[in-house]
Amino acid sequence: MIDEKLIRKEFPMLSNPPLMQGHPLVWLDNASTTLKPQCVLDAVSSYYISRTSNSHRGDYDLCYSMDVETELTRKAVSKLINCSPNEVVFTSGTTDSLNRLAQSLQYSLKKGDEIIISLSEHASNVLPWFQIAKHTGAVIKYVELQKDGLITLENLRKTLSKRTKIVSLAQVGNVLGQIQPIKELVAETHKFGAIFIVDGAQSVPHMPVDVKDLDCDFLCFSGHKICGPTGIGVLYGKYKLLEDLELNSVGGGMNDKFYLDGTIKPSKAPAKFEAGTQNLEGILGLRAAIEFIMKIGLENIAEHEHKLKKYAVERIKELGNSVIYNADVKSGIVTFNINDVFAQDAATYLNSKGIACRSGQHCAKLLNDFIGTPATIRASFYFYTTKEDIDKLVDAVSHGKEFLDAYF
């Protein structure tokens, strides 16, 4: 059980909420980013107050201790997703992780090889593959989705072939919040000798994710969606694969030696993927965030969000003026529209009541063609979301027809 009232005291944005349009902020855009607890702010500012130095170049104590801190964060990540610390590469976020992975993997692709994604992927898990397909002649294939956005084993099987080299799918969709049966999908993919990449941006912060159990080859997530700072993220890879993976970004800190004839002798993974000065404040902040989250417990977080989701769905349904697109999905995302009100107008109206929700295509432009509406409103919850937050949302939705009030 989560005591969200107590937890909220730790978040400056919740205990002393900024005003939005004259109302204390109601934060229901957690799929976009999350609020930060004081311990994360303290960890970030400690870098500037008492720990400033670079890592990798430890001739003196401060620097040495930054190296130690970096490894401690790797360890925290490894506990969160159940891997070894040396399987954790720091990046600037999910988008960066996926781009770098695509950059590295392009060297192993030949014309006619296949990359499988789905129509519900975030742009970050679509465009990097488009780019490398353009350069290599590889082909993008889309695995068929069910109406609820789920991918069945059957449908994946139909899409896989001997030419499949990469399958890259989100564990939790950012529009419908559907939770894919990743473990089975991975097993099927491996039968074809392809690698499986998990976009964990919406799953790692909200539910237990165990990469060993899933047996996925790579997994990406962002620090800022798990109460950490922006500009820090993770690329997990099975160690053997990281060892064999081509370099994607080169410079200081990632090589043991280089020679004037152009040969680079890269450091061992994960260091070989971490060129240049790292986001050290972010690395400190990410550890604080992960420790905070793990103390609350990911099972508890998932349960809390699902409970709120059910409550929100019930209450919105009672109003009778809205369509919900993902009523049965077991994550903390509610995607809906108020009848006869364009999503963007509804979101503006919610803004006028101090409620932060997202309207739009949520970067999954392709999916909206599939669910048959150009736009939706998305309310997304986290462990600090309360029933009162949802009551405020429902109250505003009940007056949705008056959306032009936002301007008068």
Partner 1 sequence: MPTFELTPSMMREIIMDHYQNPRHKEKPSQDGYKTLHASSTNCIDDFDLFVKEENGVIKDALWDGVACTISTASTDILCDLVINEDSSKALYIIDQYLKMIGEQPYDESVLDEALVFVNTSKQAARIHCATMGWTTLKEIIEQDEDHHGGH
Ligand X SMILES: Cc1ncc(COP(=O)(O)O)c(C=O)c1O
Residue type for position 83: C
**Nearest distance in Å: CB 187, ligand X:** 22
Torsions phi, psi for 357 (to 5 deg): -130, 165
204 in contact with ligand X (CB under 6 A): no
Residues of span 221-260 touching ligand X by CB under 6 A: 222
Can you read off the two tokens belonging to residue 86? 């040396």
In 3-state terms, what secondary structure has residue 358?
Answer: strand
Q: Could you say which of 38, 351, 386, 398 contacts partner 1 (CB under 8 A)?
A: 351
Longest alpha-carbon distance in the chain: 72
Question: Could you tell which of ligand X, partner 1, none binds residue 322, using a CB distance below 5 to 8 A set by kind?
Answer: none
CA dihedral in degrees (25, 31, 32, 36; nearest 10)? 60
Question: Is residue 93 near ligand X by the rule CB under 6 A?
Answer: yes
Query: Which tokens go with 92?
Result: 């600037």
45 binds partner 1 (CB under 8 A): no
What tokens does 358 get?
A: 């997202």
> Does residue 170 bind ligand X (CB under 6 A)?
yes
DSSP code of 145?
A: P
- Contacts with 59 (C-beta within 8 Å, 6 or more apart), sequence order: none
Provide the phi-psi class of 116: left if phi over 0, else alpha when psi is between -120 and 50, else beta. Answer: beta
Q: What is the DSSP string of 231-274?
A: T-EEEEE-HHHHHHSPP-S-STTSEEEE-TTS-EEEPSTTGGG-
Rank residues 93 and 285 by Cβ distance to ligand X and give the closer one.
93
Per-residue contact string for residues 114-133; x = within reach of ligand X by CB under 6 A: --------x-xx--------
The footprint of ligand X on residues 294-323 (CB under 6 A) is none
Q: How far is the CB of 404 from partner 1 (least distance, A)?
A: 5
CB 390 within 8 A of CB 311: yes
60 binds, among partner 1, ligand X, none (CB under 5 to 8 A by kind): none
Provide the mask over 147-176, with x wherever binding to partner 1 is found by CB under 8 A and - wherever it is not: ------------------------------
In the list ligand X, partner 1, none, the entry touching 199 (Cβ below 5 to 8 angstroms by class) is ligand X
Q: In the 8-state DSSP scheme, what is residue 85?
A: G
Entry field: residues in the chain = 408
Give which of partner 1, ligand X, none residue 380 binds (C-beta under 5 to 8 Å, depending on kind).
none
Interface positions, 205-264, toward partner 1 (CB under 8 A): none
**Residue 408 in contact with partner 1, rule: CB under 8 A:** yes
End-to-end CA distance of the chain: 42
The answer to whether 138 and 111 are in contact (CB under 8 A) is yes
Whether the CB-CB separation of 275 and 251 falls below 8 Å is answered with yes
Q: Per-residue x/- marks for ligand X, 136-155, CB under 6 A?
A: --------------------
| Cis status of the peptide bond prior to 270, with omega within 30 of 0 | yes
Sole binder of ligand X in the list 95, 178, 278, 385 (CB under 6 A): 95
Which among 125-133, 146-154, 215-223, 400-408 is the span making contact with partner 1, rule CB under 8 A?
Answer: 400-408
Q: How far apart are CA 366 and CA 72, in angstroms?
A: 40
Active site residue 363: yes
Binding residues among 257-276 for ligand X as defined by CB under 6 A: none
Site string for partner 1, 308-347 (x = CB under 8 A): ----------------------------------xxxx--
Residues 356-395 that bind partner 1 (CB under 8 A): 359-361, 374-375
Catalytically active residues are 363
**Interface positions with partner 1 (CB under 8 A):** 342-345, 348, 351-352, 359-361, 374-375, 403-404, 406-408
Binding interface with ligand X (CB under 6 A) = 93-95, 122, 124-125, 170, 174, 199, 201-202, 222
